[in-house]
Copies of this chain bind each other. A is one copy, B any other.
Amino acid sequence: MVTSDWEFTPVVQQSTPGLIAQQLRESLISGKITAGSQLSEAALAKAFGVSRGPLREAMQRLLQEGLLRSERNRGIFVKELTQDDIADIYDARSAIESAALRMVVSRGASADLSKLRQACANLAKAAASGERQSVSDADLSFHAALVNASGSPRLVRMQATLLAETRMCITALEATQDDVATVVDEHRLILEALESGSLETALERLQDHMQDGVMRLQRAEEV
């Protein structure tokens, strides 16, 4: 019997709570929902055109990702990020991404850096366009590509939630990339160190880049 020769892509029916969580996450990290405000289950359910069951499941996910905060019998609120949170997010990101660097380098030649080069090019393009939003998107895409290259599903998952929090910080504070050229350079330097296989240099540059990020955000918070 011929079962193939057609090569259809298998249908992947996304679950309703998954779709809702995705849309909610977008709204949260883009700042469409202001920090600290309460999310009414009934209102959201009506907006999404579903009942409260699936909506609650979506909220559960975002709760565990740390984007929301729950008070029993009171409701669910958008988490507000303090200075300490910002520092902690970047500490955790450093931990994950440093480990990813080590893993990529330890693979040596078998590592696939093409996605990283692509991400770096996209960042340069975004910087040239001048749009702040697309610059920070490309920035975080680079970091995501870095951890992807490590091939560790758990590192990828943990970083995903950290990147969502990072996006929340950036949009909430409307942090300006005062010097776009520097940011692009920092990423390119990391990639170059990676390509030449010099782990220590790459780690150092990543660390510096992270520290820059924290300082930029914390300066924005003070205003």
Q: What is the interface of chain A, defined by CB distance below 8 A to chain B?
A: 13, 15, 53, 56-57, 60-61, 64, 66, 72, 88-89, 91-92, 94-96, 98-99, 103, 152-155, 157-158, 162
Contacts and interface: CB of A to CB of B under 8 A. Distances in A.
Contact of A91 (B13, B91, B152): B152
A194 to B, nearest CB: 17
A95 to B, nearest CB: 3
B152 A88 contact: yes
A99 B88 contact: no
Question: Which of A15, A57, A94 has the most CB atoms of chain B within a 10 A radius of its CB?
Answer: A57
19 contacts: A13-B72, A15-B72, A57-B57, A57-B60, A60-B60, A66-B154, A66-B157, A88-B153, A88-B154, A91-B103, A91-B152, A91-B154, A91-B155, A92-B99, A92-B154, A92-B155, A92-B158, A95-B96, A95-B98
Contacts of A155: 91-92, 95
A115 to B, nearest CB: 20
Nearest to A65: B64
